Structure 1
Amino acid sequence: MDIFFTDPDDVPVDPEKVKVRALSAELYPDGRRVMINLEISPFKFKPNVEINIENQEGLQISSLSIVESMVHKMEFTVHLREKEPKGNYKIKAIIFYNDLDQFKLGERESAPAEEILGETRQVVARFESSFEIKG
């Protein structure tokens, strides 16, 4: 199988070398939605991504999860769950993999997915950015 890359110098990397290249947010004119742009290193194996937005009090007001992303440049729209969004906000991105082979089922056949995924999670990158909504 032949694989072609846009940039031959930008080759996919192993999981432990995946990094966040850019994370930004742009407010929509309605003031209630945010476009998030995320770029990570090209990868050999599909990573999982979690993105959270926190207000200036540190409360999570929006989040999204991506399971096994197929692309390294991503764009999402999230809704801010506040009555009147304003002030400074943080965007936090976590890139991780799950090695389900390491989970020992044994007597835990009915273990919830959240428990299994939590125990097999291997975080490879974290990144934080911020934006402001003027009131």
Structure 2
Amino acid sequence: MRLRFNPLQPDPEALPPAQVRFENIRIEPWPEGTKIRVLMELTPFQSPPNLEVVITDAENQEVTSAHIIENVDYRLVITLHLRRAPASPHYQLTARLIYPDLGTVDERNLTFDLPSSPPQP
């Protein structure tokens, strides 16, 4: 596990923008099926990247997204709220690392299913 960096001192392992990558992405749907927690780990970077996270449904329609400008942390957790009631349990998450002058330097696509809805009393 990498220790948290000191933002006032450059990380000696920091990579230039073209080499920055996702190290890990984990998806955790909330039990009620209306929110998705996304945990991301990035390689150390010399310059803060922009992040884009988009979730689409089985029909490839966007149901939620987040844009983070000049992210400063190597590890982050975001919670995305689904805009409408799930029509299908099948979803895809697309995460992109972006630098304005280079475009997308890394992209990951993960599929996941929402949990079955809990029984109504």
TM-score w.r.t. the length of structure 2 is 0.81
CA contact (8 A) 1:23 1:128 kept: no
The residue that corresponds to 1:3 in the other structure is 9
Aligned residues: 109
Please list every run of 5 or more consecutive structure 1 residues that lacks an aligned counterpart in the other structure: 100-120
How far is the alpha carbon of 1:36 from its aligned partner? 0.6
Computed over aligned residues only, the root mean square deviation of the Cα atoms, in angstroms, reads 1.9
How far is the alpha carbon of 1:4 from its aligned partner? 7.2
Amino acid at match of 1:74: L
CA contact (8 A) 1:86 1:134 kept: no
Please list every run of 5 or more consecutive structure 2 residues that lacks an aligned counterpart in the other structure: 1-7, 117-121
Corresponding residue SS for 1:68: coil
Pair 1:128 & 2:121 matched: no
How far is the alpha carbon of 1:23 from its aligned partner? 1.5
5 Å-filtered alignment, 1:1-135, equals 3=9, 11-84=13-86, 86-99=88-101, 122-135=103-116
Alpha-carbon displacement from aligned partner over 1:40-64 (angstroms, at most 9, x marks no partner): 1110000001000011111110100
Question: Hey, what's the Cα distance between the residues in 2 that align with 1:133 and 1:59?
Answer: 16
Alpha-carbon displacement from aligned partner over 1:79-126 (angstroms, at most 9, x marks no partner): 012223542111101111113xxxxxxxxxxxxxxxxxxxxx521111
Question: Hey, what's the Cα distance between the residues in 1 that align with 2:10 and 2:17?
Answer: 20
Corresponding residue SS for 2:83: coil
> Once the two structures are aligned, what percentage of the paired residues are identical?
25
Amino acid at match of 1:3: Q
Question: Hey, what's the Cα distance between the residues in 2 that align with 1:71 and 1:64?
Answer: 16
CA contact (8 A) 1:91 1:129 kept: yes
Corresponding residue SS for 1:16: helix
Higher helix content, 1 or 2: 1
